[in-house]
């Protein structure tokens, strides 16, 4: 087995554990809780989880999705994140082939995309730590041989600037926040990743997806959506960035 095979295998094998850590970040960062020193406990009864309760995927299945002590349901999204982290690693390996560093950085980038999307879907929050990590990873990819180089810088500047302007002028015209600052910061990493040329497609896809979700919610609830209703636009941006990358997959190899 060559070095590439070993690295690829390790990324995929370790991905459920990475997904478990991502779930911790998703759960704690929006609450302002410590993600390193604070031990893992049941949200219902506060019981500290033992090593068997922390095995990714398997522990959820063995516990039947609930705390063994108090019966509090373990959020299903925790399992989904652990499973999706495997897929993110697979795509990272595909994107990075045949270079180990590329595979690692792409996997990290896709893991961060996953964490940001789920955080926005659950809490309507895009934590600064995740946004900053995404941006750093995108710039690291851009700096590698075959990366988009200075296009990443321009993509980040234009993406951040455009969203900052939208947020600023919307707040002046409507007197309320129409775009979260987390979305503005997110565009640094996404703009660096896809470059300035594809930014219009990114915004179009994300806006279309968000509009479709809004219309479905309105139809299911018989109205009730207003101008102040929150929508997970950040999650749509993450999904759109991934969709654009997939559409260009052949160009990476």
User: Which DSSP string corresponds to the chain?
Assistant: --HHHHHHHHHHHHHHHHHHHHHHHHHHGGGT--SSSSPPB-TTT-PBPPGGGGSTTHHHHHTTTB-TTT-PBPPHHHHHHHHHHHHHHHHHHHHHTT-HHHHHHHHHHHHHHHHHHHHHHHHS---HHHHHHHHHHHHHHHHSTTS-THHHHHHHHHHHHHHHHHHHHHHHHHSS--S-HHHHHHHHHHHHHH-STTHHHHHHHHHHHHHHHHHHHHHHTTS---TT----HHHHHHHHHHHHHHHTGGGG-
What are the pLDDT digits (tens) for 68-107? 888 889 999 999 999 999 999 999 999 988 789 999 999 9
**Residue that has been written with the tokens 């990873």 in this structure:** 137
Whole-prediction pTM value? 0.92
What are the pLDDT digits (tens) for 99-137? 899 999 999 999 999 999 999 999 999 999 999 999 999
- Determine the pLDDT at residue 4: 57
For residues 7 and 143, what is the distance between their CA atoms, to the nearest angstrom? 21
- Determine the pLDDT at residue 213: 81
Tell me whether the omega of the peptide bond preceding residue 48 falls within 30 degrees of 0, making it cis: no
51 Cβ partners below 8 Å, 6+ apart? none
User: Which DSSP string corresponds to 195-242?
Assistant: -STTHHHHHHHHHHHHHHHHHHHHHHTTS---TT----HHHHHHHHHH
- Determine the pLDDT at residue 5: 83
- pLDDT of the chain along its 253 residues, tens only? 455 588 899 999 999 999 999 999 999 999 999 998 888 888 888 888 888 888 999 999 999 889 888 888 999 999 999 999 999 999 999 998 878 999 999 999 999 999 999 999 999 999 999 999 999 999 999 999 989 999 999 999 999 999 999 988 888 887 777 788 999 999 999 999 999 999 999 999 999 998 888 777 776 765 555 666 778 999 999 999 999 999 887 554 4
- Determine the pLDDT at residue 1: 43
- Determine the pLDDT at residue 217: 72
Residues linked to residue 48 through DSSP beta bridges, in sequence order: 41
- Determine the pLDDT at residue 250: 57
């Amino acid at each position: 087995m060559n070095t590439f095979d070993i690295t690829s295998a390790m990324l995929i094998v370790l991905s459920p554990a990475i997904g478990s850590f991502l779930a911790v970040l998703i759960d704690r960062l929006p609450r302002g809780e410590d993600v390193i020193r604070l031990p893992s406990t049941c949200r219902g009864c506060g019981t500290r989880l033992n090593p068997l309760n922390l095995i990714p995927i398997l522990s959820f299945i063995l516990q039947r999705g609930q705390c063994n002590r108090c019966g509090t349901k373990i959020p299903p999204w925790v399992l989904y994140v652990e499973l999706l982290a495997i897929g993110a690693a697979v795509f990272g390996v595909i994107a990075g082939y045949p270079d180990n560093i590329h595979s690692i950085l792409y996997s990290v980038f896709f893991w961060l995309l996953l964490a940001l999307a789920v955080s926005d879907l659950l809490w309507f929050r895009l934590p600064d730590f995740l946004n900053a990590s995404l941006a750093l990873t995108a710039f690291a990819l851009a700096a590698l041989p075959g990366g988009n180089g200075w296009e990443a810088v321009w993509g980040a500047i234009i993406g951040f600037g455009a969203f900052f302007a939208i947020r600023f002028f919307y707040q002046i015209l409507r007197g309320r926040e129409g775009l979260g600052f987390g979305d503005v910061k997110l565009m640094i990493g996404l703009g660096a990743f896809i470059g300035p040329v594809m930014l219009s497609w990114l915004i179009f896809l994300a806006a279309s997806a968000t509009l479709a979700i809004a219309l479905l919610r309105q139809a299911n609830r018989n109205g009730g959506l207003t101008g102040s209703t929150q929508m997970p636009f950040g999650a749509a941006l993450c999904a759109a960035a991934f969709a654009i990358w997939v559409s260009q997959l052949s160009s990476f190899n």
